[in-house]
Each structure stands twice: as C-alpha cells, then as structure tokens.
Amino acid sequence: MTAWRDRLGVPRDRFIPPEVWVDDPVTGGFVSVSRKIDQARWRELVEADEPIITQVDDGKTRPGAVGFQPTSSCSKPSLVADMLDALQVEDGHRVLEIGTGTGWNAANLRERVGDDGQVTSLEVDLELAEQAVRALTGAGSAVLVVTADGTKGYPDRAPYDRLIATASVRRVPRAWIEQAVPGAVIVTPWGTDYCNGTLLRLTVPGDGSAWGRCGKNLRFMRVRDQRREFLDPSGAEISGADKGTTLRSARELFEMTEFSRAAFTIGLRVPSCYLTIEDIDADHRHIELHDVRTASWARVVMARGADFEIYQLGPRRLWDEADAAYAWWLESGLPSPDRYGLTVTVNGTHEVWLDEPTSEHRWTVQGLKPGGGCSP
C-alpha cells in the first residue's frame, strides 16, 4: 500500500489547532501541548502517523488544566487514507461527511471529488465547526460546514453519492440511508457497547435498506448521542453482589476482550453491555461489564496466582451472558470480525450475519431494532 503521505494530498499541519492534548502519566488525564510554547513537540505530533487529540471534555476544559475525556481528534493519517479509499470517491460525487473535526478529512474529500463535486460536512460542536471553517477557508477548500447533529444527515443538499462518518455509531441512522442515492456507499466506524468497533462499508441498493461487511479494527470516539456509560457501584453494593469464580484462564479472558479474537462476537451477541478494563497493579486486573439501563454490572477480578472471582449486580447476569457468547464463538470455529456483515432493513432493524446474508448464523442485534429487539 502506498504511504499515507502520497494518498492524502492536503497537508495535515494546516488543520491542527495550536493547542493539542496528550496523555499525562502523572494525573492519568490529558494535558495540552502548545505550538507557541513547545513547537518541536507539537510538530512531532503532527508529523507522526498517529491520532492527535484536539479537544477534551467537550471543550469545557481549557489548555493549562487537566482533561479527562477526549472528545475530538484528528485521526491517524494512514487510517484516514484507508477510509477514503474504502469510500471510493469519484469526480463529481456529492459527499456528506459526519463529524467535521479539524476539517482535514473534509479537505481531502474535496480534493477527490474534483471541481464538479460537492462536500458537505456536519459538526455538532459549534466551536469545532468554526475552527474547521477557518482552516478550510485558509486552505482554499470549498466545503460547506454545517453545525448540526450528524445522525440526522442534511436533507438540504441530498441526495448523496457517498456518506462517511468520522465518529463511531452502534445504530446506523435512518437518515443516512434515506438521503443516499441508489448505489451509494456509506463508510462508518461501527461497533457495539462491548466492542467499539470496525470499519463498516455499506451499499445502499435503493429500496430503503443497506448492507455490507465489517473490516479492520477502529477505535473512534462515539457520536455524542450514542456514547457509552459505565456504573460505579459502592463498596457496600459490591459486598452485597452475587459472588462466584470462573474456570476461564487468563488466555481465555484475553480472547474475550480482544477485538481480533472473541470480543467483536461477544458484543454482537450481548446487547447493551459496555466493557471496561482496569489494571490495578502488576498482579491485578479488573474486567467490568456495565448496563446502565438496567443497573446491571459485573466484575472479573484477575489476581496472579489465585482463582478469578466474579461479582454480579442487577437483573442481568452480564458475566454469564458474555461467557455464553464466548462459548458460542468457540463452538462456531472462532470467527474473526471480518467474517461478519450487517444488513439494515427497511424498518431499521440491524441484522448481523456470518459470511453471507443468507447464513444460518444470522440474528437481530438486540437493542438496535425499533421498539426493542430479539435475542440472537
């Protein structure tokens, strides 16, 4: 594959804000790096084939303070190139981008559609949208940036030949399909609460549905109205939880939490279950499962040299569900994520399938069907 610098014709540095954010090992949060104060470090971040955090805490935390949640970024350049290649933009295409961010992706799209094409980009955050407009204008890139909820699309300039999202979704919005021409392509990061996520490429046949296959591993921030949440039980609640142990080995628990192994499958079979992992110290790890809707929670306590303890709270037994999904993965021949596909039906139901849409291994992803869902 050609190097990303040869596949992306727009310089990245024109779109990176003067203040970016990096991990801070002292606080465990994120601190800002200023181009004015530390130009060498800022330049190093811009030139690397790595994502750059450009906003934390929805902009509430300003440079000089410690942030705790990345909320916008400029994606890894080689991944940007891969996603644009998957989109297969052609001269003259009308493209809708969901998630303007810095504007760099939109500028690369504009270059690919040519003089006769059109790029519309939606950004939910007003401050980010204004920054992107300034950067795009400075680069001479004619992109219409609209401050709006990207999950609703933008009917004013529909229909679109191509739609691309730069934030992850667990539900493919109905508006994206409705605003696409027959034969259009949708490229989006897609994942479950358990495993976020994969590069999903959908084709829109024109009958109100869309279907396509999953691909490589992607770690994108969620669109804001689909963010995942976790529970934080008190010590007293944990003391009163149902307790047990598991015979699963450390290797099996690794497989249950690794995208390339069983995690993607578990997410497809265990709905509304958010996975978090915390390394307590060199000898202890906590794997937690969360469903805030039902106030259900589970923790696996991994301790070197000891049995692995299980704690479960709430009406759902999340560990039992995840363990059963892992057993299915083993029995089904250890399917990798790229063997799965997704069909979004006319009524919005999300149906996942293994290998082919007509496979005997297909089911509705619970929680993504209007009015509820069904078990796998």
Inter-residue contact 310 to 243 (CB < 8 Å):
yes
Q: How many whole angstroms separate alpha carbon 174 and alpha carbon 176?
A: 5
The edge-to-edge listing of strands for the beta sheet with 118-123 is 144-147, 118-123, 94-98, 160-165, 180-190, 198-204, 210-213, 340-344, 350-354, 362-364
Set 72, 73, 75, 296: catalytic member: 75
Instruction: Name the β-bridge partners of 277.
Output: 287
Q: Is 75 a catalytic residue?
A: yes
* List of residues 6+ apart from 181 with CB closer than 8 A: 159, 160, 161, 204, 206
Torsion of CA 229, 277, 350, 324, to 10 degrees: -120
Per DSSP (E only), the strands in the chain are 19-23, 30-34, 52-56, 70-74, 94-98, 118-123, 144-147, 160-165, 180-190, 198-204, 210-213, 242-246, 274-281, 284-291, 296-303, 308-313, 340-344, 350-354, 362-364
Q: How many whole angstroms separate alpha carbon 122 and alpha carbon 13?
A: 21
Active site residues: 75
